[in-house]
Amino acid sequence: MRKLLPVAATFLIASFASSVIADDNYQGHRAGIGYSWTELSEISGGINRYSADYGDGIKIEYGYDFNRIVGLNVSYAQNNDNWSFGKLDASNFQIDSDIGYAFLLNGFDIKPYGAIGLSRINEKFTYNSGASDSSSETSLALGTGVRMGFDFGLYADLRANIVFTEHVDTEQYSFTVGYRF
């Protein structure tokens, strides 16, 4: 993981440098709220892939678009789930850069993008017996999505992320709606 951090940092810095070559007045802040759902996936023996529902919940996000190509995103998602043997409370704080291109259409724009950044996952599992386990990890996160914005400020964002944790990969999907100002 420590070897990936310099690579991710270099990529983020290079993506911000590209803002110099993209013109127009697409700059601005945006804030939104939405729904997220999470799954854990693990590859066992290199052949089989197992996945498990890891809860759903609310997501809040802040973003800044430097231009039509590069944006910066900060998000927080809280996911909870009840299982037959206990309760899960998990959160995900993420900062990343999205890189794509916003196609300007008549009255709205569509931006398909890829994203790279860092994600901090905190989780607490409380067993029915009252015992509990908790863990936290910061890892590389990759994502893809599409954001649609209207000229009057409203936007909607559909996104899929994968966070590469030590033992299992965390897949998080979200749909948010917000306002660009």
Output the DSSP codes for 160-175: EEEEE-SSSEEEEEEE
Domain that holds residue 52: 4-180
* Single-letter amino acid, residue 130: G
Pairwise CA distance, residues 10 & 5, whole Å: 9
Q: Is the pLDDT of residue 155 over 70?
A: yes
Q: How many domains does the chain have?
A: 1
Predicted structure pTM score: 0.78
Q: What are phi and psi for residue 151, nearest 5 degrees?
A: -60, -25
CATH number of the domain where residue 87 is located: 2.40.160.20
157 C-beta neighbours (distance < 10 Å), count? 25
- CA distances to 30, 52, 59, 159, 173 from 145, in Å: 16, 22, 15, 4, 10
Pairwise CA distance, residues 4 & 134, whole Å: 25
Query: pLDDT, tens digit, for every residue of 25-43?
Result: 789 999 999 999 988 776 5
